[in-house]
């Protein structure tokens, strides 16, 4: 090939070599198949045929993978195997078409694909991918979801894997709720990330589920869903509000924000102050907001009082002066908030209600977390 060749001739020569490569690959495919039958992997402890081929031929993992795939499957697809054996298609095209066929393309679709460029065949294959019954049932069997608390239960990690259809259901529910939360946050100046909103959304969905369960039980009075009296131990020697930590009896350690949320939510909380581990002060159990007061506040406010918020979701009275700071159940100390503003923006993220803002158009102030008055000590609610 030393004489000058025209471009057409060069092209023909190149195509000819590619065709020869295809023929050689076709021969390799047959040899790989025989090696597998002979249980070649057992000779050197390779974990897979792909690994064995890769090591023997010193080729990239993709090439080994393609050779093994072809050795196992190409015989089922005659139009492809014949074309490869004749050198009419390149090895790469044989593999792309094989994958397309294996994904469920009909013989007619496979025939048509020989007219398309390789990139198109790969795209067609991605669209075609049909999950076999076998794949499907193992995907379903392998489904799992883990909710794992840290040792002191101050955080939880969650992860898992479910089949596509189940995953889409979960994703749709979470995204839909997160979108609602985004609208509330944006229209009232609360900053939040997408990840935070998705987490909030998951919790809101869980809350709904628990409440639905309670509402279906005639023995549980309305509104006192989370049930029972909670005893909380607080380290009375800690004077810095930011460091207040409390431990729920038989439960997780919680920080000052969660404690205040419990007190504000009117859960029957019994606060026990500890000095060096010894109980020194015990408050009376926090009285829940009386029904009549709740109703009056709800009627007065008619919805979430945060300026710009139209959410009606899980409206609850909130104590403007914190319960831990001596805030009472007096009607003037209560304002109605939706779940997002109450639990996410205020008790969760540390926003506070601007006391200067008008009662029905409350504004939120971004406050540095933790800088919120003295820690809860012995107090006399109501
Ligand atoms: Zn509150
Ligand atoms: Zn709101």
Nearest to 263 by CA among 339, 187, 319: 319
Crossing angle of helices 78-85/91-102, nearest 10°? 180
Note the ligand closest to the C-alpha atom of 310.
2
HSE, side-chain direction, 13 A CA sphere, residue 320 = 21
**pLDDT per residue of the chain (382 residues) written in tens, 0 to 9:** 567 889 999 999 999 999 999 999 999 999 999 999 998 888 888 889 999 999 999 999 999 999 999 999 999 999 999 999 888 999 999 999 999 998 888 889 999 999 999 988 988 888 876 666 667 777 788 889 999 988 888 889 999 988 888 999 999 999 999 999 999 999 998 988 999 999 999 999 998 888 776 655 554 444 444 445 677 777 766 655 556 667 777 777 777 777 788 778 766 667 777 777 676 666 655 567 888 888 999 999 999 999 999 888 889 899 988 877 788 889 999 999 999 999 899 988 888 888 788 888 999 988 754 444 433 333 333 3
Q: Is the separation of the CB atoms in 322 and 352 below 8 Å?
A: no
pTM for the whole thing? Answer: 0.54
Nearest bound ligand to the CA of residue 318: 1
In the chain, domain spans: 7-134
Q: How far is the CA of 203 from the centre of ligand 1 (A)?
A: 17
Nearest ligand to the C-alpha of residue 324? 1
| Predicted pLDDT at 370 | 44
**CB distance 352 to 365 below 8 Å:** yes
Which residue matches tokens 């419990």? 262
The strand ranges marked E within 103-249 are 144-149, 156-161, 229-235, 246-248
* C-alpha atoms less than 13 angstroms from C-alpha of 52 in its C-beta half-sphere: 19
Task: For 241-279, give one letter per residue: b (16+ CB within 10 A) or e.
Answer: beebbbbbeeeeebebbbbbbbbbbbbbbebbbbeeeee
Please report which ligand is nearest the Cα atom of 189.
2
Q: How many CB atoms lie within 10 A of CB 45?
A: 8
228: left (phi over 0), alpha (psi -120 to 50) or beta: left
Task: Report the separation in Å between the CA atom of 278 and the middle of ligand 2, taken as the mean of its atom positions.
Answer: 41
Ligand 1 centroid – CA 265 distance (Å): 6
Q: What is the pLDDT of residue 149?
A: 87
Q: Is 323 exposed, middle or buried (0-12, 13-18, 19+ CB in 10 A)?
A: buried
- Residue ranges near ligand 1 (ion) with Cβ within 5 Å: 264, 318
Q: How far is the CA of 304 from the centre of ligand 2 (A)?
A: 5
For residue 164, how far is its CA from the centre of ligand 2 (angstroms)? 34
Ligand 2 centroid–CA 263 distance in Å is 20
Quick one: which ligand is closest to 348's CA? 1
């Amino acid at each position: 090939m030393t004489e000058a060749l025209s471009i057409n001739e060069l092209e023909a020569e190149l195509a000819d070599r590619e065709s020869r490569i295809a023929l050689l690959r076709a021969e390799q495919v047959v040899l790989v198949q025989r090696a597998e039958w002979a249980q070649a992997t057992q000779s050197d402890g390779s974990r897979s045929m792909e690994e064995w081929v890769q090591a023997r031929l010193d080729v990239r993992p993709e090439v080994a993978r393609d050779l093994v795939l072809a050795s196992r499957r190409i015989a089922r697809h005659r139009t492809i195997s014949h074309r490869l054996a004749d050198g009419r298609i390149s090895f790469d095209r044989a593999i792309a078409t094989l994958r397309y066929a294996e994904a469920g393309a009909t013989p007619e679709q496979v025939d048509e694909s020989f007219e398309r460029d390789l990139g198109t065949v790969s795209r067609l294959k991605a669209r075609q991918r049909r999950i076999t019954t076998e794949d499907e049932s193992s995907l379903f069997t392998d489904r799992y979801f883990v909710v794992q608390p840290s040792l002191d239960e101050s955080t939880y990690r969650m992860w898992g894997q479910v089949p596509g259809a189940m995953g889409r259901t979960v994703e749709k529910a979470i995204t839909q709720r997160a979108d609602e939360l985004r609208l509330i946050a944006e229209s009232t100046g609360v900053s939040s990330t997408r990840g935070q909103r998705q987490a909030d959304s998951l919790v809101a969905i869980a809350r709904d589920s628990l409440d639905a369960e309670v509402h279906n039980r005639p023995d549980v009075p309305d509104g006192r869903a989370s049930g029972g009296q909670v005893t909380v131990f607080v380290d009375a020697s800690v004077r810095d509000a930011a460091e207040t930590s409390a431990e729920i009896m038989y439960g997780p350690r919680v920080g000052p924000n969660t404690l205040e949320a419990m007190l504000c939510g009117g859960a029957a909380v019994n606060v026990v102050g500890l000095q060096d581990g010894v109980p020194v002060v015990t408050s009376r159990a926090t009285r829940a907001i009386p029904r009549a007061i709740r109703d009056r506040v709800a009627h007065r406010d008619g919805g979430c009082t945060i300026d710009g918020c139209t959410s009606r979701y899980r409206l609850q009275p909130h104590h403007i002066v914190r319960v831990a700071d001596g805030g009472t159940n007096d009607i003037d100390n209560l304002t109605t908030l939706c779940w997002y503003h109450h639990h996410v923006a205020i008790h969760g993220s540390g926003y506070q209600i601007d006391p200067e803002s008008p009662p029905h158009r409350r504004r939120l102030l971004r406050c540095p977390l933790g800088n919120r008055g003295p820690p809860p000590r012995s107090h006399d609610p109501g």
